[in-house]
Structure 1
Amino acid sequence: MKAFNVSDFAALIGIDWADRKHDICEVDLHIHTQHLSVISSQPNAINAWANALKEKYNGQAVAVACELKKGPLIYALSKFEHIVLFTINPSTVAKYRKAFTHSGAKDDPTDAAIQVEILQLHMSKLNVITPDTEKVRRLTQLVEYRRKLVQDRVNLTNKITTTLKNYYPHVLDWFKEKDTQVFCDFILRWPSLKQVKRARKQTLIDFFNQHNSRYPSVNEKRIEEIKQAEALTTDNAIILPNLLLVECLTAQLKQLMIAIERFDVEIKTLYKNHKDKFIFDSLPGAGPQIAPRLLAAMGSNRERYQPSEEIQKYAGIAPVTERSGKKEWIHWRYSCTKFLRQTFVEWAGQSVRYSFWAKAYYEQQKSKGKPHNTIIRALAFKWIRILFRCWKTRTAYDETTYLAALKSKGSPLLKYAVEGKF
C-alpha cells in the first residue's frame, strides 16, 4: 500500500460527521489558511462540496480524515479520485482533545481541526481507506449482514424458548432444533397444548411427512407424548398473552430464515465466480459459510497487507504486550474489527476437526493447561500466517506440504503427534 506524505496533497481536511450535518476544517497547504464550514449530510450537498474541492485545487489530491471506516459519508466520498480518505479512531480524537483542553468538552468544529492536526503530524501512522473490487466489497457487506441475521435468529429462538416455557414447554422436547421450518409451522398451526391435543393422529403424521420428517419412530414418539402431555397451567391470563407473543415471534423467525437463505444464495453466487475461490476452498474447516468470509477478509488487493503481522493486528488476533519499568504483561487486543476477529477465531475452531496438525496443536496446548479460548486464538494466529502465504502466492493450501515443512524444521508439534499423545 502506498505511503503518503503531507507534501502529496494540496489540502488537509478533517470532517466531524453527524446524522444531519458535517463540520469541516480545511487547511490549504499552498497559502496556509484554515477555513471552517458546515455542509448538509444530504448526497447532493456532499457531492457539491467534493466537486468544489476538485475545482478549487485543480484536480490535485486532497487528504480527508474522518472517524469512520464505512457508512454513508465514506460511500459518498469514495467515488472521487481526487479525495484520499484516512480513518482516525474516535478514541484517538477524544484523548487528543482531553490532552489539550482542560474541560474536555466536545465541540464539532474543534474535533474537525484536531483531525487535521493528527493528519498533518501523524499521516504515516494512519490507515488509508482503499476500496477493493466491487465484487469483494459486495461480498463483504453480504457476509457481515448475514452474520448479524444469524445472531438475530439466535436471539429470536431464545425469546421463543423462554416464552414457551411459560405455558407450553412440551414442544421444546418434541423439536430439538428451533430454527427450522417444521418447528415454526408446528407452532403457528398449534400454538398451545390444548389445540394440538385436538389434532387427529393422521393429521399430525401428514404434517410431519409434508415437512420431510419421515422417521416413523420419531413421529410416533411425538404423537404419543402429545396425547399424554399434561398442561403446565390452565390460567388464560398466562396462556393467551404468551400464545400471542409466540405467534408473533415465530412468524418473525420464519421470515428471518427465508432472508438468510436469500443471503446464502447471493453469497454463494459471488463466491463461486471469484478467481481466488480455490485458495479458500482448500482451507480445512472453512466450509461454505466461513470460506466466503475469509475471502472477504483478505480481499483481492495483494498489496493491502505486507507482512502477515499486519492482518494479525488488524483482526485483533495478535496480543498486545505492554511494559512499564520492570513489569511486562500481555493482554487481549481491544481495538480491532470485531467481525474480522470473529471470522478467524470461528475458522480456527472448525479447523481442529479437519486438520491433523491443528488437532495436534490443540491437544498439545490443552495438556499444558491452556483454556479453550486461548488455544483457539493462538491457533488462529498460526492459521493467518499460513493463509497469508497462500493468498500472496495464489497457492491452494496442502496439508501434506505443511506437515513436510514441520518435519524438515524438526517441529516438536509433529513429534508430539507422532508419539500418539492425542
Structure 2
Amino acid sequence: MIDQINTWRTQIKKTKSTIDKNFKNYEGSNILSSIPAVGTTIGGVLLSELSNDTLEFTDYRAFQSYAGTSPVTKQSGKTMRKVTMRYACNKNLRHALYWLAFNSITRVDWARQFYDKQRSKGKKNSIALRSLSNKWAKIIFSMWKHQTPYSPDFFETNQKKKNLLTGFA
C-alpha cells in the first residue's frame, strides 16, 4: 500500500510540474500570475476564459455580468427590492473569481480592507466575497485589456483619486 501511495505522489508531482510549465508557456499567463492570490489553478481558468476569441466584451460591466459577479436587482410594482446572485453566467469563471477573492483577503491589503468593510455592513461571508470578486473582475478586465501586470500601487492610487472626486475619505 505504501508503494502505491508513493507512486501516486510521484505521478501527482509530475502532473503538477507539467501543468505549471504549460500555464507559464501561454501568452497572458504573466499578467494573471502577477496577482498575488492567483496560482496555476485559478490562473488557468481565468486564462482559458479571457483568451476565448469568440468573447468580445465592450467594457468591464459586460465582463462582470458574464462572470456572474455583478448582482441582479429584482423589483416589481409594489414589491420590495431584492438583490440576488446572477445565475445566468459562466459558472467556472464565477467560481474562479470567488476563490481568487477568498485567497486575496490574506495576501492583498486593500482586498482585506474591502472584505472587512463589507462584513462590518452586516453582509454575509459569501456576499462579501462575491462583492470582492466583482472588484477583481473589473481589475482583471482592465489588466487584460491593457496587457499590464497587476500593481497594488495602481489600485490604491485610483482609489484615492475616486475618493477625492466623490468627496469620501
Query: Quick check: TM above 0.5?
Result: yes
CA distance in 2, matches of 1:256, 1:329: 49
The one of 392, 397, 400 aligned to 2:150: 397
The one of 108, 112, 121 aligned to 1:368: 121
**1:383 CA drift (Å):** 0.7
Which letter maps to 2:149? A
**1:267 CA drift (Å):** 2.1
SS of the residue corresponding to residue 330 of structure 1 reads strand
- Does residue 321 of structure 1 match 2:90? no
CA distance in 1, matches of 2:57, 2:10: 37
The one of 324, 337, 361 aligned to 2:90: 337
Which letter maps to 2:31? I
Pairing 1:405-416 to 2, within 5 Å after superposition:
405-410=158-163, 415=169
Pairing 1:52-91 to 2, within 5 Å after superposition:
none
**1:300 CA drift (Å):** 5.5
Decide whether the 8 Å contact of 1:267 with 1:292 is kept in 2: no
CA distance in 2, matches of 1:363, 1:268: 33
C-alpha distance 323-369 of structure 1, shift in aligned 2 (>3 A): closer
TM value normalised by structure 2: 0.83
More helix as a share of residues: 2
C-alpha distance 391-353 of structure 1, shift in aligned 2 (>3 A): same
Which letter maps to 1:374? I
Pairing 1:164-179 to 2, within 5 Å after superposition:
none
Larger RCO (CA under 8 A, 6+ residues apart)? 2
The one of 371, 377, 380 aligned to 2:133: 380
1:284 aligned partner = 36
Decide whether the 8 Å contact of 1:293 with 1:343 is kept in 2: yes
Which letter maps to 2:33? D
CA distance in 1, matches of 2:56, 2:113: 32
Pairing 1:3-402 to 2, within 5 Å after superposition:
185=2, 260-299=12-51, 301=53, 304-327=56-79, 328-402=81-155
Which letter maps to 1:271? F
CA distance in 1, matches of 2:27, 2:87: 34
**1:322 CA drift (Å):** 1.8
1:74 aligned partner = none
**1:348 CA drift (Å):** 0.7
CA distance in 1, matches of 2:121, 2:150: 29
C-alpha distance 282-370 of structure 1, shift in aligned 2 (>3 A): same
Decide whether the 8 Å contact of 2:105 with 2:111 is kept in 1: yes
1:50 aligned partner = none
C-alpha distance 305-255 of structure 1, shift in aligned 2 (>3 A): farther
SS of the residue corresponding to residue 410 of structure 1 reads helix
Larger radius of gyration: 1
- Contiguous gaps of at least 5 residues in structure 2: none
**1:302 CA drift (Å):** 8.9
Decide whether the 8 Å contact of 2:69 with 2:137 is kept in 1: no
CA distance in 1, matches of 2:60, 2:99: 19
CA distance in 1, matches of 2:46, 2:10: 24
**1:375 CA drift (Å):** 0.5
Decide whether the 8 Å contact of 1:353 with 1:359 is kept in 2: yes
C-alpha distance 301-394 of structure 1, shift in aligned 2 (>3 A): farther
Which letter maps to 1:299? S
Q: Deviations over 1:357-399 (max 9, x none)?
A: 1111111112222111110000000110011001001011110
C-alpha distance 355-369 of structure 1, shift in aligned 2 (>3 A): same
SS of the residue corresponding to residue 333 of structure 1 reads coil
- Contiguous gaps of at least 5 residues in structure 1: 1-183, 189-250, 416-422
SS of the residue corresponding to residue 321 of structure 1 reads strand
| Matched residues, number | 166
